[in-house]
Amino acid sequence: MPERVTVYAARLGHLAPDQLQAAVDRFELGELLATREILTGNFGQNVHLVTTTGEYVFRGNPFFDWQLPKEREVARILHERTTLPVPWPYYHEPSTGLFGWDYAIMPRLPGEMVNDAPAPDQVALAGTLGEALAGLQEATFYRAMEFELGAGGFVPLAGGEREHLSRRIDHNLALSIAASDRTSDADAAWVRSLLQEAEAAPTNWEPSCLVHGDFTINNVVAARGSDGWRITGVFDFMTARTGSFEADLCRQFALHHERLPAAATAFLDSYFQCRPARPGYRDRVPLLVLDERLTLWEWLQRTHPGWWQSEIGLREWAEPVLDAMLAYA
């Protein structure tokens, strides 16, 4: 039995060794030998477990009743329909008797977190990320869908992807305006003008692919071999859905565009070499970038009102990313 270290993150609270052993026993994963805090991630849901059968990640206290079932379904889809390494099998215990909430245990993926790698490595990793994203998109679907717990899987979005994104953009714009004074009337007018243009475009939004929803260097592990870097695992599927192939390009591109433009270029170049831009790219990208940027912007206004770019407005922050992505069309 491991040393009695029972607080791993505020969200998980106190976890006794016998509780964790009982969780391991539920899936016949051996004797618990050690537990380790996982310092990466924003939300403190994970604990590293070492047992006599291997290394695992314990994930608990989900934010929503659908979180862990959804993550399991996405991991299953990627495991069965792509060659991308993902945490599978993903064991989910829906009962709440042991901890007061449901939990999951999954294999710990090999490799290391590389989000703080030196700049030359970041450029190489960006190219590898582009290839990995193209690999994730081997899981294709006939239309845009979202996970529904009652259905036990993904169901079509009412009105389709364009209407869904427009509603979400409107919602996050209203929340941003209410949360702080950083979203000006001019910012709101810019957003609404792009929405009008997108609604008028006759673009076909289908077929669809699996969309991670937060595909960045922060949600992968990698290893360096004799032939360079390779992605050894992708994880954290809470925000996943199905939708446009371009949807997952924005967030990682934006991270690099702000900090290391050469890596931003390497990311898109590598991706488009694997998966050339589809017809309608220029019509879909404004809505997809707005959705991704406003989702993050609203969260920042609500939770980090004094963040590092405290004087910048929404349009000034988001438009350079949009312009740079449109330049690839």
Could you write out the three-class secondary structure of 70-96?
HHHHHHHHHHHHCCCCCCCCCEEECCC
The confidence score (pLDDT) of residue 42 equals 63
Burial of 68 from C-beta contacts in 10 A (0-12 / 13-18 / 19+): buried
**Dmax over Cα atoms in the chain, in whole Å?**
63
d(C-alpha 290, C-alpha 297), whole Å: 10
The confidence score (pLDDT) of residue 4 equals 54
The confidence score (pLDDT) of residue 15 equals 92
- Residues (pLDDT < 50) of the chain are 1-3, 5
Structural domain boundaries in the chain: 17-107, 119-326
The confidence score (pLDDT) of residue 69 equals 99
Task: Give residue-wise pLDDT tens across range 274-284.
Answer: 999 999 999 99
Q: Token pair of 231, please?
A: 């992605």
Contact indicator for 239, 67 with CB cutoff of 8 Å: no
Q: Token pair of 106, please?
A: 């999954």
Query: Is this model's pTM higher than 0.85 or not?
Result: yes
The confidence score (pLDDT) of residue 306 equals 64
Buried b (16+ CB within 10 A) or exposed e, 17-53: eeebbebbeebebbebeebeebeeeeebbbbbbbbee
The confidence score (pLDDT) of residue 132 equals 98
Residue among 22, 67, 28, 84 at smallest CA distance from 274: 84
d(C-alpha 200, C-alpha 283), whole Å: 9
Class of the CATH-defined domain 119-326? alpha beta
Domains 17-107 and 119-326 share a fold: no
Domain 17-107 has CATH 3.30.200.20: yes
